């Protein structure tokens, strides 16, 4: 009854394979909201097995013997580059309370005409002293940069922003890393090994996660990336629940990721140990170690830190810049605002842009240098009667306006360059390109002696104007309360 031209003979296939394909096809096409739980579970489990069996760059280099077996791709670098959750932009912005009717971490004292100081359970200054016996990669892997990433961590969740400290120098064997805490007008804030931590988190196992990392280049394939050379979690609370203070620590590093346990950075060191106690002692001294020091902040540091959000990790040499930003926030949002319940946009490129560039060491270096140069031009009448070190100046209103002007003349102009790539942690090529563009702009500015002449120069191309870059909003994604944690995923 059916014409032969309407028929087509299909090749015979095993029934089992056909049934399996049909089942997989059905799983792919089915709606997850109505699919049976068993099918959804099988599909998720299949994706998990594929992820576990996938060969990574670290697996290949481990097999080739190019790096020790405890090296992994950097966890904190990946978390930082995935989005804004663990950047300063997500912590410097004022957070609304759970009711969204007031600010959780920003208050203003009208009697003193300044931001209210907020004390936290944990406020400490941490100094990275040195790293010893860090195993270098073998031939064929070129090290482009070395650094230490830090954040607050409870063993499972990341509780703060991720801060980075660059290594100042290494010895001839490339096993000993040294850091610098010297302050200078032209210093690089990214290499300053002293940072502060603040937290009000009610977590028993809260501590500082240190992850040592290297940016590498594989000579044969020109492939680039970042490896973790070891990590350690330093608890900030002692056995009695008090915050650790004024202590030095010599910490042995662990291999793998912060979510792996009982992994050594270089197992070959332990294998060389024998029953001989002397050899075992020598072998123990060759284990990778990190030396740090924790202390209480000084009086001036404490006053500046108390103007900051409850949770923050940052550079101590940039404390004054962070504090000025928070004071300007309190002035605009609480002191000068006519209607505190209004959520209308506020014209302020400074308030909107500063948190976005606070994580960029190259731009913060430009801002800090320009700010120190401007301070030298401040008239004697504007300075306090007894000026000691870096004490704050007397006329705060004048100084806040001066700080905003310095920011707009330097960092805001540079950040608008169309040729300036976005900051990416661990990408040496991007960091080098950013530095070239910054140097070009600063050289033009010095040659013309004015920022306006540099802005009008034909040598630079700027991004199209966008309202978002000058409009500050109190109901944006950075101001709403979120659970700022991350687990391994």
**For 121-139, how does the pLDDT look when each residue is reduced to its tens digit (9 = 90+)?**
999 999 999 999 999 888 7
Q: What is the mean pLDDT of residues 308-327?
A: 95
Q: What percent of the chain is modeled with pLDDT above 70?
A: 78
**For 163-172, how does the pLDDT look when each residue is reduced to its tens digit (9 = 90+)?**
999 999 999 9
Residue 392 has pLDDT above 50, yes or no: no
- Fold designation for 59-82+121-295: Immunoglobulin-like (2.60.40)
Instruction: Please spell the DSSP secondary structure of 342-393, one letter per residue.
Output: ----EE-HHHHHHHHHTT-HHHHHHHHHHHHHHHHTS-GGGS-SS--TTPPP
Give the containing element (helix H, strand E) for 177.
Answer: strand 177-178
Give residue 421's pLDDT.
94
Residues 6+ apart with CB under 8 A from 212: 131, 134, 146, 147, 148, 177, 228, 229, 230, 231, 253, 288, 290
Residue 4 has pLDDT above 60, yes or no: no
Distance CA 89, CA 79 (A): 14
Give residue 128's pLDDT.
97
Confidence of residue 408 (pLDDT cuts 50, 70, 90): very high
3-state secondary structure of 462: strand
Mean pLDDT (the chain, rounded) = 83
**For 6-20, how does the pLDDT look when each residue is reduced to its tens digit (9 = 90+)?**
555 556 555 544 444
Residue 195 has pLDDT above 60, yes or no: yes
Confidence of residue 359 (pLDDT cuts 50, 70, 90): very high
Distance CA 246, CA 233 (A): 18
Give residue 199's pLDDT.
95
Give residue 186's pLDDT.
84
SS3 content of the chain, % helix, strand, coil (to 5): 35, 20, 45
Three-state DSSP string of 379-437: CHHHCCCCCCCCCCCCCHHHHHHHHHHHHHHCHHHHHCECCCCCCCCCCHHHHHHHHHH
Rounded to the nearest 10 degrees, how much is the dihedral formed by the CA atoms of 31, 32, 35, 38? 150
Q: How many Cα atoms are found within 13 Å in the side-chain-facing hemisphere of 32?
A: 5
Residue 464 has pLDDT above 70, yes or no: yes
Rounded to the nearest 10 degrees, how much is the dihedral formed by the CA atoms of 76, 253, 151, 215? -40
Residue 247 in contact with residue 291, Cβ under 8 Å? no
Which of 225-229, 271-275, 471-475 has the highest average model confidence (pLDDT)? Answer: 225-229
Give residue 483's pLDDT.
47
**For 245-256, how does the pLDDT look when each residue is reduced to its tens digit (9 = 90+)?**
999 999 999 999
Distance CA 424, CA 77 (A): 9
Pairing, β 471-472 against β 346-347: antiparallel
Give residue 281's pLDDT.
57
Give the number of residues written for the chain: 489
- Domain map of the chain by residue range? 59-82+121-295, 86-118+317-416+463-489
Q: What is the mean pLDDT of residues 196-203?
A: 93
* 323 CB neighbour count, 10 Å cutoff: 19
Range in 50-54, 350-354, 355-359, 427-431 the model is least confident about: 50-54
Give the pair of three-digit tokens for residue 385. 């009667």
Q: What percent of the chain is modeled with pLDDT above 90?
A: 51
Give residue 329's pLDDT.
94
């Amino acid at each position: 009854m059916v014409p032969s031209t309407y028929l087509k003979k299909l090749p015979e296939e095993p029934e089992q394979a056909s049934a399996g394909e049909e089942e997989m096809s059905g799983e792919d096409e089915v709606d997850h909201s109505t699919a049976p739980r068993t099918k959804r579970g099988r599909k998720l489990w299949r994706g998990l097995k594929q992820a576990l069996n996938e060969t990574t760059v670290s697996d290949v280099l481990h097999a080739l013997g190019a790096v020790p077996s405890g090296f992994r791709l950097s966890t904190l670098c990946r978390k930082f580059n995935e989005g804004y959750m663990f950047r300063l932009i997500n912590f410097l912005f004022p957070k609304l309370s759970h009711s969204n009717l007031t600010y959780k971490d920003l208050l203003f004292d009208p009697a003193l005409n300044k931001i209210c100081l907020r004390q936290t359970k944990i406020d400490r200054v941490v100094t990275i002293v040195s790293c010893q016996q860090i195993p270098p990669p073998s031939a064929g892997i070129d090290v482009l940069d070395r650094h230490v990433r830090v954040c607050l961590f409870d063993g499972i969740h990341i509780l703060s922003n991720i801060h980075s400290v660059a290594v100042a120098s290494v010895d001839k064997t490339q096993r000993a890393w040294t850091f610098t805490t010297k302050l200078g007008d032209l210093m690089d804030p990214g290499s300053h090994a002293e940072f502060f931590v603040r937290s009000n988190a009610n977590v028993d196992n809260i501590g500082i996660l240190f992850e040592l990392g290297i940016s590498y280049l594989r000579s044969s394939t020109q492939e680039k990336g970042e490896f973790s050379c070891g990590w350690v979690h330093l608890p900030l609370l002692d056995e009695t629940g008090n915050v650790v203070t004024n202590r030095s620590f010599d910490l042995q590093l662990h291999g793998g990721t912060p979510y792996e346990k009982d992994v050594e950075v270089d197992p070959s060191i332990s294998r060389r140990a024998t029953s001989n106690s002397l050899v075992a002692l020598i072998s123990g001294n060759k284990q990778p170690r990190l030396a740090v020091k924790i202390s209480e902040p000084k009086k001036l540091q404490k006053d500046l830190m108390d103007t900051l959000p409850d949770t923050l990790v940052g550079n101590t040499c940039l404390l004054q810049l962070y504090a000025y930003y928070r004071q300007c926030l309190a002035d605009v949002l609480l002191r000068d605002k006519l209607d505190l319940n209004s959520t209308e946009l506020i014209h302020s490129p400074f308030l909107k842009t500063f948190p976005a560039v606070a994580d960029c060491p190259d731009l913060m270096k430009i801002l800090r240098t320009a700010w120190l140069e401007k301070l030298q031009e401040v008239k004697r009448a504007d300075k306090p009667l007894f000026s000691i070190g870096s004490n704050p100046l007397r006329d705060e209103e004048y100084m806040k306006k001066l700080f905003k002007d310095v920011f707009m003349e330097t960092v805001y102009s540079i950040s608008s360059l169309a040729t300036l790539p976005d900051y990416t942690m661990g990408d040496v090529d991007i960091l080098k390109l950013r530095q070239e563009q910054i140097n070009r702009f600063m050289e033009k500015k010095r040659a013309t002696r004015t920022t306006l002449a540099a802005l009008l120069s034909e040598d630079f191309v700027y991004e199209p104007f966008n309202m978002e870059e000058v409009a500050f909003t109190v109901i944006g994604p950075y101001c709403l309360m979120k659970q700022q944690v991350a687990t391994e995923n």
